[in-house]
Each structure stands twice: as C-alpha cells, then as structure tokens.
Amino acid sequence: MTDSSGIISYDKENKPGVANLLTIYAAITGEKIADIVAKYDGKGYGAFKTDLAEIVVNELAPVQERYEQLLNSSELDDILDAGAAKANKIASKTLAKMEKAMGLGRR
C-alpha cells in the first residue's frame, strides 16, 4: 500500500507501505535505502514499483524453476518413499519390542 504523494521516502510512521517496499528492494539488491531513494527521486511510484517487481521476479525465478523441476520429476516421490521405508523399519522394531514386553510377541 502506498500513498498518493508520489514521493519515495523511507518513513515507517507515515509511509509504512513505501518503507516496506524500500526494505524489500534493499534486501534483495544489497543497495542502501538512501541510495534507492536517491535513484527514484522525482520519478514517482510507477518506475519504482516496476523495477522492484522485476527485481523480485528475478530473485524468485530460480526457486520457481526448482519447484517446477521437483513437481515434474520423481525426486520428491523417491525422497518420500525412502523416508517412509526408514520410518517403517524403525516403527516395526519399536512395535516388536512393545509386543514382546506385553507378552504378545511370538516365542
């Protein structure tokens, strides 16, 4: 959420939406907030938000690509199957110990 002034400045109290966007921009790019504010001085929100959107999309692109790779491969199923087999092995041992302790196991 931004205000209608069109002036980009870091002011958490009066412009929390703009301050948040500046923080996101700085976190991704490593630029100082003051430098970002100076870069967009007189340009308004349009250019700032367009550039920020591109920065965020570029930052998230590798995550989205990996997500798609995982969804379209058997890798997740393989991981889940291996985990289930390991859990089943441990659970079976625990169940056998429990049954023996209760006198329900085979002699």
Sign of CA dihedral 6, 9, 10, 11: negative
- Single-letter residue type at 46: G
In this prediction, residue 5 carries a pLDDT of: 75
CA atoms of 76 and 71, how far apart (whole Å)? 8
pLDDT of residue 1: 54
- pLDDT tens for the chain, 107 residues: list them: 556 677 898 989 988 889 999 999 999 999 999 999 999 998 888 899 999 999 999 999 999 999 999 889 998 899 999 999 999 999 999 888 888 888 886 66
pTM check: above 0.85: no
